[in-house]
Amino acid sequence: MGLVLFLMAVLWAVGWAMKAPVRARLWMIGLLYLAVVIAQLVLPQTAALRAATGGSVQPWLVLGGLGAVALGYSAGLARLRHRVARTTPAAAAPSNTPFREAELNRYARHIVLREIGGTGQRKLKDARVLVIGAGGLGSPALLYLAASGIGTIGVIDDDTVDGSNLQRQVIHRDDMIDTPKVFSAQAAMLALNPFITVRPYKRRLDDRIAQDLFAEYDLILDGTDNFDTRYLANRAAVATGTPLISAAITQWEGQISLYHPASGGPCYECVFPNRPAAGLAPACAEAGVVSPLPGILGTMMALEAVKHLTGAGQTLQGRLLIYDGLYADTRMMRISARKECACCGTARA
C-alpha cells in the first residue's frame, strides 16, 4: 500500500513541476486509485500484484471515501465563496470597486493593524475629505491623506506657489512656483497615490459656497491661517453637521482639535468665541514659523482624520492639544460645548 501512495505522491509532484492543472493531477491519481481497487476486486487472493498493493480492498475504499469527502468539502467551499463574491460587493460598501492587488500591497501595513484592518481601509477608500488650504498645514495633511488611501480628497485654495512657501509647504516643488497651489498639490498627491480622486477648487472659501461644498464631504480639515476663514468653516460645519478638524500654528507652537457638535462635542466658536485682539496672533508672514512645525501639526490632522473615519482609538473631540516645539512640551486641555455659543448653542438647545 505504501508503494502506491508513494507513486501517487510522485505523480502529483511531476504534475506540479510540469505546471499541469490541479484537475489533471487529480485525474491521474484517480485513475491509479481505480486501477488498484479493480486489482483488489478481480485478482486472486494469492496474486503478487494484489499482495503488493495491500492485499485487501477495504483500506482503499476507506481512503477513497475520505478523499471524496475532502474533495466535496473543497468544492462546496469554492461554490460558497463564488456566491458570496457575486452577492456581497453591492451591499458591502457604498463603492462597488474592490481593492486592486496593488492597493492591497500598498495598504498592507494598515490592514494588519488591528484597529484598522481591511474594514477600516475600505472606509478610508469610501471616504470624502475636504482640506481647506494647501499651505503649511494642508501640505502634510494632504500627502498623508493620499498615502492613507482616502478615496476622494478635495482641496480648496485660491493662492499660487511662491518661493517663500517652500521652506515649510512640502507638497510643492521649486518647479511649481507660480502654479496654483491646488493643482500643484493635486499633481503631488496623484504621483504618490494614483488610486485616489483629487478635486481641486481654485478659489477662496466664502459664504456662498461653504455649506453646499461641505455637504459633499464626510470630514473637513481646516489648515488656514486667518480667523475669517476659520469662523466661516466652523459655521458651515455646524450647519451641515460635518465634523471639523482645525489646527493653527505660529512660530514654535501649534494646537489642534476635532470639533463636532452633532455628536456632542464643542464647535470651534465654543472654545474661541472671540477673535484675539489685533497683534496678539500675527500671521506666520509676520511672526515667522519654524519649518518642521506645520509638518507635525498637519500630520496630526491626517492622523485624526484616519482615526475618525475608521473608528480607531480616541480622537481629539472634547480635547485641545497644544504643542510647544521649542521646549518639546505637549499639553492637553479639556474643552466642552457652551450652551450660549452663538454658533452651535441654538442648534444644540
Please state the rounded mean pLDDT for residues 8-17. Answer: 70
pLDDT higher for 89 or 346?
346
Residue 250 has pLDDT above 80, yes or no: yes
Instruction: Give, in degrees to the nearest 5, the angle at Cα 255 between 250 and 257.
Output: 150
List CB contacts of 218: < 8 A, sequence separation 6 or more.
127, 128, 129, 242, 243, 309
Residue 60 has pLDDT above 50, yes or no: yes
Q: List, in order of start, the domains of the chain with CATH numbers.
A: 2-87 (no CATH), 127-348 (3.40.50.720)
The pLDDT score that the predictor gives to residue 331 is: 97
d(CA 300, CA 305): 9
Please state the rounded mean pLDDT for residues 180-191. Answer: 97
The pLDDT score that the predictor gives to residue 92 is: 37
Please state the rounded mean pLDDT for residues 40-61. Answer: 70
Residue 46 has pLDDT above 80, yes or no: no
Per-residue pLDDT tens digits for 161-175: 999 999 999 999 999
The pLDDT score that the predictor gives to residue 177 is: 96
d(CA 73, CA 68): 9
The pLDDT score that the predictor gives to residue 186 is: 97
The residue ranges of DSSP E strands in 157-278, in sequence order, are 197-201, 219-222, 244-250, 253-259
Contact by Cβ (8 Å): 179, 165: no
Cell 484537475 appears where? Answer: 23
**Under DSSP, is residue 20 helix (H, G, I), strand (E, B) or coil?**
coil
Please state the rounded mean pLDDT for residues 123-139. Answer: 97
The pLDDT score that the predictor gives to residue 79 is: 64
pLDDT higher for 79 or 264?
264
